[in-house]
């Protein structure tokens, strides 16, 4: 056997093991899309954040915690009960495989309270830490904007 032939067999073997590893990989795959925070008016003590949390993996995952150094953060859901909008604090939110959790007005949203004034200026970014049961901790930077873009 000449060396060139041996080398190509080795390369093929490496390629095959790499491909089989890829297809064997499973679990949740969490991604954050289009996240932003509404710039609060000067006197505001709270504001909201919107975006999409996607799970492109083949296993469900659960959001167990979200936090930031700049404010107290919670995942809320707005629900209408007897004509009144009411915000419910969501805990242990499951994100099914190949699905997404959409955060938008009058629905799910990030609620920011006890804002640090210095940090919540237009153009600034707030660092958030999301903790998932399987995917672990994921750090996301959210821009502050005055309106939808």
Q: How far apart are CA 113 and CA 72, in angstroms?
A: 5
By CB under 5 A, tell whether 40 contacts Cu ion.
Answer: no
Cβ distance 37 to 48 under 8 Å?
A: yes
Q: Closest approach of Cβ 89 to Cu ion, in Å?
A: 8
Among the listed ranges 28-36, 54-62, 85-93, 97-105, the one in contact with Cu ion (CB under 5 A) is 85-93
By CB under 5 A, tell whether 76 contacts Cu ion.
Answer: yes
DSSP H helices in the chain: 3-24
In the bound state with Cu ion, the residue whose beta carbon lies nearer, of 108 and 132, is 108
Contacts (CB under 5 A) with Cu ion, residues 86-105: 87
| Summary count for the chain: helices (H), strands (E) | 1, 10
Which residues lie near Cu ion (CB under 5 A)? Answer: 76, 87, 111
């Amino acid at each position: 056997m000449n060396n060139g032939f041996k080398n190509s067999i080795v390369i093929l073997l490496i390629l095959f093991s790499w491909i089989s590893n890829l297809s064997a990989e499973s679990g949740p795959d969490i991604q954050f899309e289009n996240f932003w925070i509404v710039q609060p008016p000067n006197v505001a003590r709270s504001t909201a954040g919107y975006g999409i949390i996607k799970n492109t993996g083949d296993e469900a995952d659960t959001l167990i915690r979200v936090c930031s150094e700049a404010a107290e953060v919670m995942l809320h859901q707005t629900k209408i009960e007897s004509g009144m909008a009411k915000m419910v604090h969501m805990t242990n939110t499951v994100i099914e495989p190949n699905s997404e959790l959409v955060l938008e007005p009058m629905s799910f949203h990030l609620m920011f309270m006890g804002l640090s004034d210095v940090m919540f200026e237009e153009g600034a970014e707030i660092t958030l830490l999301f903790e998932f049961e399987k995917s672990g901790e994921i750090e996301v930077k959210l821009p502050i904007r005055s309106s939808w873009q």
